[in-house]
Amino acid sequence: MATKFVAFTSLGRRALPNQWDVIAFALIFGGFVLAVQAGRGMVLPLPAPRTVAVVLDYSYLPYYALRTTLRMFAALAASVLFTITYATLAAKSRRAEVILVPLLDVLQSVPILGFLSFTVTFFLNLFPGRVLGAECAAIFAIFTSQAWNMAFSFYQSLRTVPADLDEVANGFRLSGWQKFWQLETPFAIPGLIWNMMMSMSGGWFFVVAAEAITVGDTTIKLPGIGSYLAVAIDGRRVDAVLAAVVTVLVVILLYDQVIFRPIVTWADKFRVELSASQDVSESWVLNLLQRTFWIRAATRPVHQAFDWFTSLRLGAGRGGLREVVTPRVARAIDLLWFVLVGAIALYAAWGAASFVAKTLAWRDVGEAVLLTLITMMRVVVLLALATAFWVPVGVWIGLRPRIAERVQPMAQFLAAFPANVVFPIAVIGILAFHLNADIWLSFLIIFGTQWYIVFNVIAGASAYPNDLREVARNFRIGGWTWWRSVILPGIFPYYVTGALTASGGSWNAAIVAEYVRWGNDRVAAHGIGAYIAQATEAGDFPKIVLGVAVMSVCVILFNRLFWRPLFGYAERRLRLN
Task: For residue 418, give the nearest of 137, 230, 555, 235 by alpha carbon.
Answer: 230
Same domain, 286 and 363: no
Task: Verify that 376 and 278 share a domain, yes or no.
Answer: no
Answer whether residue 12 is part of any domain: no
- pLDDT tens figures, 176-206: 888 888 888 888 887 788 778 878 877 777 7
Stated as kind and residue range, the H or E segment containing 212 is strand 212-215
Backbone region of residue 278 per phi and psi (left: phi > 0; alpha: psi in -120 to 50; beta: other values): alpha
Measured between alpha carbons, how far is 413 from 417 in angstroms, rounded to an integer?
6
259 or 279, which is more confident: 259
The verdict on 102 and 245 lying in the same domain is yes
Rounded distance between C-alpha atoms, residue 186 and residue 192, angstroms: 10
Alpha helices by DSSP H, 312-398 = 319-324, 327-357, 362-398
- Check residue 276 and give its pLDDT: 44
Q: What is the pLDDT of residue 112?
A: 62
Residue 398 within any structural domain of the chain: yes
Beta bridge partners of 516: 523
Q: Does residue 286 sit in the same domain as residue 367?
A: no
User: In terms of domains, do 251 and 399 share one?
Assistant: no
DSSP code at position 33: H
Burial class (CB in 10 A: 0-12, 13-18, 19+), 281: middle
Number of domains the chain contains: 2
Q: Are residues 414 and 492 in the same domain?
A: yes
Choose the final residue of a domain: 290, 314, 334: 290
Reduce the DSSP state of residue 251 to 3 states and report it.
helix
In a domain, 81, yes or no: yes
* pLDDT on residue 408: 64
Q: Is residue 303 part of a domain?
A: no
Residue 340 inside a domain? The answer is: no
The predicted model gives 13-18 an average pLDDT of 65
pLDDT of residue 373 exceeding 70, the answer is yes
pLDDT at 5: 46
pLDDT value for 201: 76
Whether residue 366 sits in one domain with residue 271: no
pLDDT at 392: 93
Worst-scoring range by mean pLDDT, 244-258, 417-431, 529-543, 555-569?
Answer: 417-431
Is 9 a domain residue?
no
What would the mean pLDDT of 26-42 be, rounded to a whole number?
80
Question: How high is the pLDDT of residue 321?
Answer: 42
What CATH number does the domain containing 431 carry? 1.10.3720.10
* Same domain? 277 vs 369: no
User: Does some domain include residue 335?
Assistant: no
Determine which of 135-139, 245-249, 329-333, 367-371 has the lowest per-residue pLDDT on average: 329-333
Among 290, 324, 348, the domain boundary falls at 290
Band (332; pLDDT cuts 50, 70, 90):
confident
- Which of 244, 270, 290 is a domain's end point? 290
433 and 526 co-located in one domain: yes
Same-domain check for residues 285 and 369:
no
For residue 155, the enclosing domain spans: 19-290
User: In this structure, are 370 and 241 located in the same domain?
Assistant: no
Contact 389, 206 (CB under 8 A): no
pLDDT of residue 273: 56
Does 338 map to a domain?
no
Q: Are residues 251 and 396 in the same domain?
A: no
pLDDT tens, position by position, 403-438: 776 776 676 667 666 666 677 777 778 878 888 888
CA-CA distance, 543 to 564, in Å (whole number)? 29
**Confidence check: pLDDT of 217 > 60:** no
The answer on pLDDT for 82 being more than 80 is yes
**Would you call 318 exposed, middle or buried from its count of C-beta atoms within 10 A (0-12, 13-18, 19+)?**
exposed
Range among 228-242, 371-385, 461-475, 519-533 rated most confident: 371-385
φ/ψ of residue 117, rounded to 5: -55, -30
